[in-house]
Structure 1
Amino acid sequence: MKQILQSFKTGITELAELPSPKVKSGQVLIKTTRSLVSLGTERMLVEFGKASLIQKARQQPDKVKMVLDKIKTEGLMPTIETVFNKLEQPLPLGYCNVGEVFAVGNGVTDFKVGDRVASNGQHAEFVSVPQNLVAHIPDNISDEEAAFTVIGSIGLQGIRLVNPTMGETVVVIGLGLIGLLTAEMLVANGCKVIGYDLDDTKVEIAKSKGVIAFNPLKGNDPVKFVNSHTNNVGADAVLITASAKTNDIISQAAHMSRKRGRIVLVGVIGLDISRADFYEKELSFQVSCSYGPGRYDDDYEFKGMDYPLPFVRWTEKRNFETILQLISTGKLDVKGLISEVIPLEEYDKIYGDIGNSKSIASIIKYNENNTPEHTIIVNKKENAPTKGGIGIIGAGNFTKMTMLPALKGTNANIKHIVSSGGVNGTALAQKHNIAQSTTDYDLVLDDKDVDLVMITTRHNLHADMVINALEKGKHVFVEKPLALNNEELVAIEESYSKNNGTLMIGFNRRFSPHTQKIKSLVGNAPMNIVATMNAGAIPPEVWVHDMAIGGGRIIGEACHYLDLMVFLSGSKIKAVCMNALGENPAENTDNASILVKMENGSTGVVNYFANGAKSYAKEHLEVFSQEKVLIMDNFIKTSGYGVKGFSKLKTKLDKGHKAQFGQIVEKIKQGSVELIPYEELINVTKASFAAIQSLKEGSWVTID
């Protein structure tokens, strides 16, 4: 299928050939007929992509600080590589999609194949969208009109926050597409609407819709104009739908408001607010979030959990339905706002000079005879080796930033890469000479040329994918964790025992030269190990904290150091006891300490903390044994004390990924990926589960 993408590295907007997405559970697959270009938002993204690195940095000072912190802890070159890898990832454009339901996922009850729908899907021939972000289109609305659904909802949510009453005066600053739609809805609501913009064409359109509109460049001072039309009382409310970097707009909004007036920001402006402006009038100010309640809430958007209507009357989906109702009844006239309807293949007529575009609304028209193709050939390989074929499932940050760069130069024979939407997988296939990009996970499992399946998806998918791959006779590498609970682990063990495939978990740190050096110096003698991970805070809403999806950070990441203790001590884990920070430690698993007993008498402590400074080194390891002390600092430096013939090892940051993947590529050619004994993989996984159990029970837990 074809999809419009924006590169932040080159600044190029392209019409890319991608595999079509497969419908997901709780979602509908939509065959697109029309999509609307949000000129304001998309112009901003395109211009950011075209900006130089210095200009990008100036626009995102918070990101610059993160980069500087990373340089301090990991070094210059690894940081530069990370930044450029981030910039290389293309961004799909668009969020105003109209089409026909092509397929429905499990659990979807509100839609059927053939329904005409509006959604926040992208500029792509096929999109898979969660059901709470899709709305039915009334029969009397054309596809072009329905394309205004989502962008209209942005204005509608701003209106709901302003909460205007009939007869109030509301000012709309910025009469672009969202501003014009907002102003017309306010007029329909019985408000006196004043609007202004620097574009005469937009001002005239607003006037035709009953708005008292003007252009400040023609001699009208905005504050004086509003006061003169309100008997010097001021506006009851101000809605800012403009996009500008200046702080003048927020100042004007304050000065034109009456006492205790309301100001709502829908657009993007400078926000250097004068306290005096707001203090003297007791003004209220609020920023509107996109389409309405539910936005950026994974429970609502991706898990399909609707907010109860009596308590949250207007969700983003119900806002979509409201816009469609207004268009259907004629209260919102959008036909006159359409500047052009352009075939998808001629997309550059819109994006080629988007910075100077005078269009109000540009509509993209799609070919109605398209059918989904879930796999595309990216690189033809005439003489590809027949042994050691690899299929990668998952094209997220780990695959992009760590695994594929580590596989570079290993002669890995990667035939497929699978991504859910096709965008990430195709970009990585192009960069790393992978033969095919696909959204069809089963294709990889059924391909006889694939010997090794490498799984890097979200954690909740690992267990089923491992089992499915083993049952297809594949060898499996899975990025940690192997499973999220004992039930999943038991199922994996049963499948492993019945099939011939081997298994490897991404416990890369034991392959680091620093770890290898420590191991060579202490052998298997009893030892004490103290490991500290300054992991850094992750916002609570991020999926890794969801025990059903991410499993939490102990199971998902602290397992690395449980494995290190097994490797360094030469012994499996016998028992663990975990305690965590705070009055309710069971709710704070990313600030915890785990005491570890090994079968050979060695002991260890894993400190996993998320409340430290990111400018401090992320990982620290201390080993005490046989009157020796070895200290590893962030996989860059290892120092020895009391160790004859060794004082220091220093490298660039090396957590063992390159060595691990290099050995996997060689091993798979021999029909195995078992670099770590299977029993150790299971022991470490059980120990991570036991740590969570220990925290809940407040006692030591023995590993079976």
Structure 2
Amino acid sequence: MRQILQNLGNGETLLADVPTPKLSAGQVLIRSTRTVISAGTERMLVDFGKANWIDKARQQPDKVRMVLKKIKTDGLMPTIEAVRSKLDQPLPLGYCNAGTVLESKVDGIKPGDRIVSNGPHAEVVRMPKNLCAKIPDNVDDESAAFTVLGSIALQGVRLAKPTIGESVAVIGLGLIGLITVQILRANGCRVIGIDFDSEKCKFAQSFGAETVDLSKGEDPVAAGMAFSRGRGMDAVIITASTKSDEPVSNAANMSRKRGRIILVGVVGLQLSRAEFYDKELTFQVSCSYGPGRYDDSYELKGQDYPVGFVRWTEQRNFEAILDMMASGAIDMRPLISHRFSFDDALDAYAQLDDKSSLGILLEYPEAAGPDLVSSTIRLTEAKRAPQKAQCSFLGGGNYAGRILIPAFSKAGASLDTIVTSSGASGATQGRKHGFQNAATSEDAVLNSASTDTIAIATRHNLHAKQTCEALKAGKNVFVEKPLAMTLDELSEIEACYRAAGNNQPLVMVGFNRRFSQHATKMKALLDSVKEPKSLVFTINAGEIPMDHWTQDPAIGGGRIIGEACHFIDFARFLVGAPIKSFYGAKLGNPDQRLATTEDKATLILSFEDGSQATIHYLANGDKGFPKERIEAFAGQKVLQLDNFKSLKGFGWKGFSKFKTRSQDKGQNACVQAFVDAIKSGSAAPVEMDQLIEVSRVTIQLAEQLKG
């Protein structure tokens, strides 16, 4: 199938061939018939992509501060590579979709149903149930495609809480502004629309509004006061897009005492206290298309809000807009300014330069091609001779694209197939790095004779299942940490591995730090001391929001399982003896009403040779402090490693300092050792028993901290 993607790095808009998304529980697969290009949002994204680095930085000062802090801790080149990789991730464009259901795993929705969603511009989209709504029989697909835009307008109106007969101003008469005018008129309000575009003012007049044409020098405040019979506007809804502070100032000055101002668009927000203070004005920002937006539990997991407590959610706003279309209360057809075939989608984006454009509609082919629902696409026709280390990837996120895939390519592995659930990221990464195929089904690699090695770089909850499936298929496995999230999963992996008998594939976990040049130097020095060692790890991990997937116990498993495992393994490597016992304690919280997490904890490991490691894993430090500091005390000597860039020795004969130009966390060396072992037929770089040991200790520590 084809999908429109935006490269934020160079501004290129692509109509790309990608595999059809993989359908999961609670989702529907939709064949698109019509989508609407959102002139405001999508023009902003395209313009951002075309901007140079300086202009991009000016538009996102918060991100610039994050980059500067990262340079301090990680160095210049790793930071530049991380930023480039982030900008190079394909961004699906579009969020106003109407189509027909192909497959459904949602009760009440069946194949053949006509449906709207906030799906992107693609021939086939996969959507969760709470972001879909059925189209009434008397609403055509062209009109229905405007539903999401209508819901953005509706949410702004809901926050304004207008009553019949109230006077409401709409500042900005683009698509959302004109829909807002219609909704307000249907609600029994008197409406005045304000814009610089004379044609858009005429549209608003056709919907029953009076207008202020700013291009003719008309005074919006005076017009608003006159329209409200001198009382001031009851409410003002701002749907404009401008850097100017003037819309907010005008809104305040035309409002009555205790009037309501709702911001739906994007404008300057240098507010005048005096303008708001005297009238006790209410100012509120509207969030997209209603309650549930950006809540993964609602949008992705399908957990609805009880109607008795949240009457209007995103989905119920979709339904309300469709009902208004069905009754004739609002009409989207006059808002269509251009129609383009999906084949000519790039020409449609060129139309965004015309600021007078309104609804740009994309029309999709009615006849479905043979590749419309293909889960695998060929990226190159070049045939490769069979060889060892024919590697396929499960997962194509930022870390895989920036670190793992280049490392495998550099190590001499042949890249066969990349599998991602959405298809778009896999196709982009596949073309960039030279994969033969891109797919959305794991079967494409598990059943492939051309793949002997599978690298797993998916979310943590999938690692154990995918590792077992790969082992059963006889594939070598490189799994980005963690190996498993529970002891049961770990036992299953061990059983699958042992079941292979003498034909056991190689298994590797991405514990890369032990392969760093700094690590091997530390190991060699410490091995020369024949007595117990004392290791102190200070990990200034930084805060991750609680709603991030890594903090979700069911998906990421938390930061001890997902990240601290690195340092448990590194300690195991430096000591060179099995872990005998362990203990963990997390930072306490005197206010028991507040939840505590295990990302501020101390882990203590005791080893069979008498050594001890203390790992302070902390998310409450300043980013200016070194992110990873490891200190080793042994035989009246000390080693200090900072951020895998600088290793200092105190009391060591012949050694005082070792530095690398940039961070060396051992990722390339880790992968190289794994690929070399496959090609040479030698043992895995790290024994399976040790991978199991470290994983088991990590899981038990995490359980202890949560208890």
**Structure 1 length as normaliser, TM-score?**
0.97
Is the contact between residue 385 and residue 413 of structure 1 (CA under 8 Å) also seen in structure 2?
A: no
Percent same amino acid among aligned pairs?
50
Spell out, residue by residue over 1:233-286, the C-alpha distance to the aligned partner (whole angstroms, 9 max, x if none).
111111111100111111111111111111111111111111111111111111
The answer to whether the aligner puts 1:667 opposite 2:683 as a matched pair is no
Partner of 2:6: 6
Specify the code of the residue in structure 2 equivalent to 1:10. N
In structure 2, how many angstroms separate the alpha carbons of the residues matched to 1:161 and 1:353? 33
Specify the code of the residue in structure 2 equivalent to 1:503. V
In structure 2, how many angstroms separate the alpha carbons of the residues matched to 1:31 and 1:696? 44
User: What is the Cα deviation at residue 152 of structure 1?
Assistant: 0.5
Spell out, residue by residue over 1:118-152, the C-alpha distance to the aligned partner (whole angstroms, 9 max, x if none).
00000000111111101001111111011011110
Spell out, residue by residue over 1:358-409, the C-alpha distance to the aligned partner (whole angstroms, 9 max, x if none).
2210110111222311111213332334322111000011101211232342
User: What is the Cα deviation at residue 491 of structure 1?
Assistant: 1.6
The answer to whether the aligner puts 1:469 opposite 2:479 as a matched pair is no
Partner of 1:179: 177
User: What is the Cα deviation at residue 672 of structure 1?
Assistant: 6.5
The answer to whether the aligner puts 1:413 opposite 2:411 as a matched pair is no
Partner of 1:701: none
Larger deviation: 640-649 or 17-26? 17-26
Partner of 1:80: 80
Is the contact between residue 586 and residue 695 of structure 1 (CA under 8 Å) also seen in structure 2?
A: no
Partner of 2:47: 47
In structure 2, how many angstroms separate the alpha carbons of the residues matched to 1:151 and 1:624? 63
Partner of 2:612: 603
Spell out, residue by residue over 1:293-349, the C-alpha distance to the aligned partner (whole angstroms, 9 max, x if none).
111111111111100110110000000000100001100111111112210111122
Is the contact between residue 598 and residue 706 of structure 2 (CA under 8 Å) also seen in structure 1?
A: no
User: What is the Cα deviation at residue 6 of structure 1?
Assistant: 1.2
Spell out, residue by residue over 1:87-139, the C-alpha distance to the aligned partner (whole angstroms, 9 max, x if none).
2222110000111111123xx21211111100000000011111110100111
User: What is the Cα deviation at residue 357 of structure 1?
Assistant: 4.0
Partner of 2:38: 38
Spell out, residue by residue over 1:155-177, the C-alpha distance to the aligned partner (whole angstroms, 9 max, x if none).
01111111111111111110100
In structure 2, how many angstroms separate the alpha carbons of the residues matched to 1:328 and 1:415? 50
2:547 to 538, 541, 548: 541
Is the contact between residue 150 and residue 320 of structure 1 (CA under 8 Å) also seen in structure 2?
A: yes
1:653 to 652, 663, 673: 663
The answer to whether the aligner puts 1:509 opposite 2:513 as a matched pair is yes
User: What is the Cα deviation at residue 43 of structure 1?
Assistant: 0.7
Partner of 1:700: none
Counting only pairs closer than 5 Å after superposition, residues 432-471 of structure 1 correspond to structure 2 as 432-471=433-472
1:672 to 1:225, Cα distance in 2 relative to 1, 3 A: farther
Q: Secondary structure at the match of 1:548?
A: coil
Partner of 2:522: 518
The runs of 5 or more residues in structure 1 that have no matched partner are 698-704
Q: Secondary structure at the match of 1:379?
A: coil
1:641 to 646, 650, 655: 650
Q: Secondary structure at the match of 2:680?
A: coil
The answer to whether the aligner puts 1:115 opposite 2:113 as a matched pair is yes
User: What is the Cα deviation at residue 586 of structure 1?
Assistant: 7.4
The answer to whether the aligner puts 1:320 opposite 2:318 as a matched pair is yes
Partner of 1:261: 259
Specify the code of the residue in structure 2 equivalent to 1:649. F
Spell out, residue by residue over 1:515-542, the C-alpha distance to the aligned partner (whole angstroms, 9 max, x if none).
1100000117411111111111111111
Is the contact between residue 89 and residue 398 of structure 2 (CA under 8 Å) also seen in structure 1?
A: no
Spell out, residue by residue over 1:557-603, the C-alpha distance to the aligned partner (whole angstroms, 9 max, x if none).
00100001111111122222111123259722111111111122111
Counting only pairs closer than 5 Å after superposition, residues 674-693 of structure 1 correspond to structure 2 as 674-693=684-703
Larger deviation: 418-427 or 260-269? 418-427
User: What is the Cα deviation at residue 14 of structure 1?
Assistant: 1.6
Is the contact between residue 576 and residue 694 of structure 1 (CA under 8 Å) also seen in structure 2?
A: no
Partner of 2:350: 352
In structure 2, how many angstroms separate the alpha carbons of the residues matched to 1:232 and 1:693? 66
1:295 to 1:673, Cα distance in 2 relative to 1, 3 A: farther
Q: Secondary structure at the match of 1:407?
A: helix
User: What is the Cα deviation at residue 13 of structure 1?
Assistant: 1.2
Partner of 1:135: 133
1:365 to 1:696, Cα distance in 2 relative to 1, 3 A: closer
Is the contact between residue 118 and residue 135 of structure 1 (CA under 8 Å) also seen in structure 2?
A: yes
Partner of 1:329: 327
Larger deviation: 557-566 or 680-689? 680-689
Specify the code of the residue in structure 1 equivalent to 2:377. I
In structure 1, how many angstroms separate the alpha carbons of the residues matched to 2:473 and 2:405? 24
In structure 2, how many angstroms separate the alpha carbons of the residues matched to 1:416 and 1:671? 23
Is the contact between residue 501 and residue 672 of structure 1 (CA under 8 Å) also seen in structure 2?
A: no
Larger deviation: 134-143 or 659-668? 659-668
Q: Secondary structure at the match of 1:450?
A: coil
Counting only pairs closer than 5 Å after superposition, residues 85-104 of structure 1 correspond to structure 2 as 85-104=85-104
In structure 2, how many angstroms separate the alpha carbons of the residues matched to 1:461 and 1:415? 21
Q: Secondary structure at the match of 1:94?
A: coil
Q: Secondary structure at the match of 1:4?
A: strand
In structure 2, how many angstroms separate the alpha carbons of the residues matched to 1:41 and 1:312? 27
Superposed CA RMSD:
1.4
Larger deviation: 345-354 or 39-48? 345-354
Partner of 1:28: 28
Spell out, residue by residue over 1:434-462, the C-alpha distance to the aligned partner (whole angstroms, 9 max, x if none).
11111111111000121111101011111
Partner of 2:212: 214
1:597 to 1:3, Cα distance in 2 relative to 1, 3 A: same
Is the contact between residue 559 and residue 684 of structure 1 (CA under 8 Å) also seen in structure 2?
A: yes
Specify the code of the residue in structure 2 equivalent to 1:364. L
Is the contact between residue 30 and residue 127 of structure 1 (CA under 8 Å) also seen in structure 2?
A: yes
The answer to whether the aligner puts 1:570 opposite 2:576 as a matched pair is yes
The answer to whether the aligner puts 1:558 opposite 2:564 as a matched pair is yes
Is the contact between residue 85 and residue 398 of structure 2 (CA under 8 Å) also seen in structure 1?
A: no
The answer to whether the aligner puts 1:64 opposite 2:34 as a matched pair is no
Spell out, residue by residue over 1:405-428, the C-alpha distance to the aligned partner (whole angstroms, 9 max, x if none).
323422211101111111211111
In structure 1, how many angstroms separate the alpha carbons of the residues matched to 2:505 and 2:462? 19
Partner of 1:694: 704
1:629 to 638, 643, 659: 638
In structure 2, how many angstroms separate the alpha carbons of the residues matched to 1:670 and 1:98? 54
Is the contact between residue 453 and residue 469 of structure 1 (CA under 8 Å) also seen in structure 2?
A: yes
User: What is the Cα deviation at residue 356 of structure 1?
Assistant: 2.2
Counting only pairs closer than 5 Å after superposition, residues 320-399 of structure 1 correspond to structure 2 as 320-370=318-368, 371-399=372-400
1:121 to 1:650, Cα distance in 2 relative to 1, 3 A: same
Is the contact between residue 198 and residue 215 of structure 2 (CA under 8 Å) also seen in structure 1?
A: no
Q: Secondary structure at the match of 1:669?
A: helix
Is the contact between residue 503 and residue 673 of structure 1 (CA under 8 Å) also seen in structure 2?
A: no
In structure 2, how many angstroms separate the alpha carbons of the residues matched to 1:546 and 1:12? 35
Is the contact between residue 167 and residue 192 of structure 1 (CA under 8 Å) also seen in structure 2?
A: yes
Partner of 2:494: 493
Q: Secondary structure at the match of 1:103?
A: strand
Specify the code of the residue in structure 1 equivalent to 2:301. K
In structure 2, how many angstroms separate the alpha carbons of the residues matched to 1:357 and 1:217? 14
Specify the code of the residue in structure 2 equivalent to 1:458. R
Is the contact between residue 291 and residue 314 of structure 2 (CA under 8 Å) also seen in structure 1?
A: yes
User: What is the Cα deviation at residue 54 of structure 1?
Assistant: 0.8
The size of the alignment, in residue pairs, is 695
In structure 2, how many angstroms separate the alpha carbons of the residues matched to 1:75 and 1:29? 44
Partner of 1:252: 250
Q: Secondary structure at the match of 1:684?
A: helix
The answer to whether the aligner puts 1:592 opposite 2:605 as a matched pair is no
Partner of 1:702: none
Larger deviation: 300-309 or 520-529? 520-529
Larger deviation: 293-302 or 571-580? 571-580
Spell out, residue by residue over 1:61-87, the C-alpha distance to the aligned partner (whole angstroms, 9 max, x if none).
111111111111121111111121122
Q: Secondary structure at the match of 1:278?
A: helix
